[in-house]
Amino acid sequence: MKKEVSRRSFLRKATLGSAAFTSAPMILTASANREKFLLNRHYENQSFSANDHLQLGLIGSGIQGIYDTMAALKVDGVKLVAACDLYTGRLDRAKELWGADLFTTRDYRELLNRKDIDAVVVATPDHWHQKITLDALKAGKAVYCEKPMVQNFDEGHEIIKVQKNTGSICQVGSQGMASLGNEKAKQLYEEGAIGEIVMLDMYNDRYSAEGAWQYPIPPDADPTTVDFDTFLGNAPKTPYELKRFFRWRNYQDYGTGVAGDLFVHAFSTLNHIIGSHGPSRALSTGGLRYWKDGRDVPDVTMTLYDYPKTENHSAFNAAFRINFIAGSGGGGGFRLIGTEGELEVGQNAVTLKRSKLGMVPGGYSMIAFTEETQQKIKAEYASKNLENRASSLETGTTTWEAPRDYKGGHYDHFHTFFQTIRGKGNIIQDPTFGLRAAGAALLANESFFKERPISWDPTAMKLI
């Protein structure tokens, strides 16, 4: 009923023209391509004294940790005061980027013990996420934990529990969550722009060694500069190996494969846009086709998900595809396909396509009938008036793009995080949201390695 009301609201606005139709396109005219700008965000102009800055600590100064910190420091009133990593070269890089006076350490507990640190970014390998996040919450720090929030299903509920008990702020870092693209797509979906959702189509193609996680190993990496034993943590003990340290995403012991790295972004966006808790079943297949470099996770994978009907969406199916050896050169997409239209969603742009639903038979199915019978069939269909006004509305394609001066989804996600710390906002990706996104992704791994469908309770966030 809720979605039907939204659908009628969308069509009613469409008939009023652009003056009364602010968020969805005017659809009375003939099919056409249209371009519009997303409304830019306006941020409160604030100036902060040195004593008013939120002081940030970075735990895991690798690739994502650096990008996270760069985005965080663009927000007014934030200062990085400490960084932690198990490779000294990354600590040297942190000082190179943010000043020689930056406090650096190999022991993250030294950051948590500092009274001057208000918040930490946890950008470590996945198998350390739960331990460090729990320790940080208990130390009274606000936590920005990179996705996926957890490496295993059973780790998430403890984070939810501790966050509630401590009252500390915890936001999961899927950086596109707060983007203008997500905001617009959510608005359009809730207004019924695509009718009832029937399918999600997500794919990510890559065609480079870097894209397949074959990250460079620095020439100075050795047992004196890399703390390999601490890196292992609770993972199985294994001899010192630099590939495992610098290319940890390639191993089940430390990462979560393509699902944990890439599916999570899609699940975060999807759950946010349509108000879903996630899928109820997954079936995954694939294999290691090209990058046979010692990794034990697939480089090509396809996963199908079943979503149950809820008050916010109809039952639908989702298809996720990753290819790390895409000879086409690479690319990606995220499309919500409904009974009345399609949304292609990105952080900086959203495209809505609406087409007329053909209800009257054409030449293909009529060819086996005599001319006289064809005329009778046409008359019969015409009397039924199947092509009512609503189904005949032409929309064509409308694309909303972010303004050129838009600061980006990564900035917005951190802005929301810091505003919440200051008591002026609410995060949109808390630990419960984070577990639902991570759990849905982990279903793919569970299905792939067990070679069977896996069922999941998306509300209770537990395997069935």
75-89 pLDDT, tens per residue? Answer: 999 999 999 999 999
- The answer to whether residue 244 sits within a structural domain is no
Cα 5 to Cα 10, 186, 407: the distances in Å are 9, 16, 34
β-strand partners of 120: 57, 143
- The answer to whether residue 202 sits within a structural domain is yes
Question: Which of 369 and 355 is assigned the larger pLDDT?
Answer: 369
108/374 Cα distance (integer angstroms)? 77
- The answer to whether residue 271 sits within a structural domain is yes
pLDDT band for position 21 (cuts 50, 70, 90): very low
Locus of tokens 């990564």: 410
- The answer to whether residue 365 sits within a structural domain is yes
Q: What's the distance, CA 294 to chain centroid?
A: 28
Locus of tokens 């890196």: 231
The structure tokens listed for 425 are 């906002």
Q: What is the mean pLDDT of residues 418-428?
A: 93
pLDDT band for position 32 (cuts 50, 70, 90): low
104/111 Cα distance (integer angstroms)? 9
Structural domain count, the chain: 1
- The answer to whether residue 423 sits within a structural domain is no
Give me the pLDDT at residue 43, please: 82
pLDDT band for position 392 (cuts 50, 70, 90): low
Q: What is the mean pLDDT of residues 396-403?
A: 93
- Written as one letter, the residue type at 159 is I
What digits encode the pLDDT tens for the residues 328-347?
Answer: 999 999 999 999 999 999 99
Pairing of strands 316-323, 197-205: parallel
414/74 Cα distance (integer angstroms)? 9
pLDDT band for position 393 (cuts 50, 70, 90): low
Q: What's the distance, CA 362 to chain centroid?
A: 42
Give me the pLDDT at residue 445, please: 98
Q: How many Cα atoms sit within 13 Å of 40 on the Cβ side?
A: 8
Contact 78, 421 (CB under 8 A): no
92/95 Cα distance (integer angstroms)? 5
Write the CATH number for 351.
3.30.360.10
* pLDDT higher than threshold 60 for residue 13: no
Q: Is 372 helix (H, G, I), strand (E, B) or coil?
A: helix
Q: For residue 23, with 0-12 CB atoms within 10 Å meaning exposed, 13-18 middle and 19 or more buried, which class applies?
A: middle
Give me the pLDDT at residue 48, please: 86
Phi and psi at residue 359, in whole multiples of 5°?
-110, -10
What digits encode the pLDDT tens for the residues 427-453?
Answer: 989 999 999 999 999 999 999 999 999
- The answer to whether residue 379 sits within a structural domain is yes
Question: Which of 52 and 134 is assigned the larger pLDDT?
Answer: 134
pLDDT band for position 101 (cuts 50, 70, 90): very high
Helix (H) or strand (E) run with residue 192 in it:
none
Q: Percentage of residues in the chain with pLDDT exceeding 70?
A: 91
Give me the pLDDT at residue 37, please: 83
Task: From 344, 361, 362, select the one nearest 352 (Cα to Cα).
Answer: 344
- The torsion region of residue 311 among left (phi > 0), alpha (psi -120 to 50) and beta comes to alpha
Domain residues for the domain of 339 are: 2-38+178-223+250-407+432-463
- The answer to whether residue 213 sits within a structural domain is yes
Cα 22 to Cα 13, 14, 25, 55: the distances in Å are 9, 10, 8, 40
* pLDDT higher than threshold 70 for residue 389: no
- The answer to whether residue 417 sits within a structural domain is no
Contact 461, 436 (CB under 8 A): yes
Locus of tokens 């699902």: 259
Kindly give, in sequence order, each residue whose CB lies less than 8 Å from that of residue 293, ignoring residues fewer than 6 positions away.
214, 243, 247, 250
